[in-house]
Homo-oligomer: A and B are copies of this chain.
Amino acid sequence: MNAINSAEWRIRMADGSSENLAPESSLVTRMYLSFKRFLKNLILIVRRFLEKSWNIGKNEPRKVIHCLKVGIALSVVSLFYYMRPLYNGVGGTAMWAVMTVVVVFEYTVGATLYKCLNRATGTFCAGFLAIGIHWIANQSGKRFEPIIMGVSIFILASAATFTRFIPAVKARFDYGTMIFILTFTLVSISGYRVANLLNMAHERVSTIIIGASLCVITSILIFPIWAGEELHKLVISNLEKLAESLDCCVAEFFGDSEDTTTNTKKLLAFKCVLNSKASEETMANFARWEPAHGLFNFQHPWGKYLKISASMRSCACCIEALTSCINQKDQASELLKNQLTNPCQQVSSSTSEILKELALNMKTMRKSSRMNMLIQEKNNAIQELETLMEQLSGLLIIQPKNVKDDQEKPVIRTSSTNVIPLVEIIPTATFASLVIEIATRIEGVVDVVEELSKLAKFKLEDADMMIKQNKPVIKNIIN
> A395 contacts which of B186, B403, B417 (Cβ < 8 Å)?
B417
Which of the listed residues A53, A56, A403, A429 has the most CB atoms from chain B within 10 Å of its own CB? A429
A136-150 interface bits toward B, Cβ cutoff 8 Å, 1 = contact, 0 = none: 000000000010011
Task: Specify the chain B residue showing the minimal Cβ separation from A204.
Answer: B90
Interface set, chain A 254-312, CB cutoff 8 A to B: 274-275, 277-278
User: A94 to chain B: closest CB distance in Å?
Assistant: 6
In this assembly, does A430 line the interface, its C-beta being within 8 Å of a C-beta of chain B? yes
Stretch touching chain B among A96-104, A344-352, A469-477: A96-104
Interface set, chain A 79-100, CB cutoff 8 A to B: 79, 81-83, 87, 89-92, 94-95, 98-99
A320 to B324, CA, bound (A): 14
In this assembly, does A321 line the interface, its C-beta being within 8 Å of a C-beta of chain B? yes
User: A411 to chain B: closest CB distance in Å?
Assistant: 7
A16 to B137, CA, bound (A): 51
Stretch touching chain B among A32-40, A59-67, A224-232, A236-244: A59-67
A177-221 interface bits toward B, Cβ cutoff 8 Å, 1 = contact, 0 = none: 010011001111111000000001000000000000000000000
> A71 contacts which of B157, B186, B274, B386 (Cβ < 8 Å)?
B157
A362 to B353, CA, bound (A): 46
* Contact call A394/B421, Cβ cutoff below 8 A: yes
> Would A149 and B78 be within 8 Å (CB), given that A71-B161, A398-B339 are in contact?
yes
* Contact call A397/B393, Cβ cutoff below 8 A: yes
User: A321 to chain B: closest CB distance in Å?
Assistant: 4
Count copies of this chain in the complex: 2
* Contact call B182/A98, Cβ cutoff below 8 A: yes
User: A44 to chain B: closest CB distance in Å?
Assistant: 15
Task: Specify the chain B residue showing the minimal Cβ separation from A392.
Answer: B422
* Contact call B412/A394, Cβ cutoff below 8 A: no
In this assembly, does A427 line the interface, its C-beta being within 8 Å of a C-beta of chain B? yes
Instruction: List B contacts of A411 (CB < 8 A).
Output: 393
> A149 contacts which of B66, B82, B320, B418 (Cβ < 8 Å)?
B82
Between-chain CB contacts (< 8 Å), 6 pairs: A67-B157, A75-B153, A82-B189, A389-B426, A393-B409, A395-B395
In this assembly, does A162 line the interface, its C-beta being within 8 Å of a C-beta of chain B? yes
* Contact call B416/A395, Cβ cutoff below 8 A: no
* Contact call A200/B426, Cβ cutoff below 8 A: no
In this assembly, does A135 line the interface, its C-beta being within 8 Å of a C-beta of chain B? no
Instruction: List B contacts of A223 (CB < 8 A).
Output: none
Instruction: List B contacts of A422 (CB < 8 A).
Output: 389-390, 392-394, 425, 429
Stretch touching chain B among A1-9, A20-28, A432-440, A459-467: A432-440
Instruction: List B contacts of A395 (CB < 8 A).
Output: 394-397, 412, 417-420
Which of the listed residues A74, A82, A151, A409 has the most CB atoms from chain B within 10 Å of its own CB? A74
* Contact call B416/A410, Cβ cutoff below 8 A: yes
* Contact call A392/B386, Cβ cutoff below 8 A: no
> A396 contacts which of B190, B425, B441 (Cβ < 8 Å)?
B425
Number of contact residues on A: which range applies? Answer: 35 or more
* Contact call A83/B399, Cβ cutoff below 8 A: no
* Contact call B412/A102, Cβ cutoff below 8 A: no
**Given A394-B422, A430-B433, 12 extra CB contacts under 8 A:** A70-B181, A74-B181, A78-B149, A79-B150, A317-B317, A388-B401, A393-B409, A394-B420, A395-B417, A410-B414, A426-B429, A430-B430
In this assembly, does A68 line the interface, its C-beta being within 8 Å of a C-beta of chain B? yes
A276 to B150, CA, bound (A): 39
A178 to B107, CA, bound (A): 13
A186 to B163, CA, bound (A): 32
Instruction: List B contacts of A190 (CB < 8 A).
Output: 89-90
Task: Specify the chain B residue showing the minimal Cβ separation from A279.
Answer: B278
Instruction: List B contacts of A318 (CB < 8 A).
Output: 320-321, 324
In this assembly, does A11 line the interface, its C-beta being within 8 Å of a C-beta of chain B? no
Task: Specify the chain B residue showing the minimal Cβ separation from A191.
Answer: B89
* Contact call B397/A186, Cβ cutoff below 8 A: no
Interface set, chain A 332-379, CB cutoff 8 A to B: 333, 335-336, 339
Instruction: List B contacts of A278 (CB < 8 A).
Output: 277-278
User: A356 to chain B: closest CB distance in Å?
Assistant: 23
Instruction: List B contacts of A430 (CB < 8 A).
Output: 426, 429-430, 433-434
Instruction: List B contacts of A335 (CB < 8 A).
Output: 396, 398
* Contact call B421/A154, Cβ cutoff below 8 A: no
Task: Specify the chain B residue showing the minimal Cβ separation from A338.
Answer: B398
A75 to B425, CA, bound (A): 71
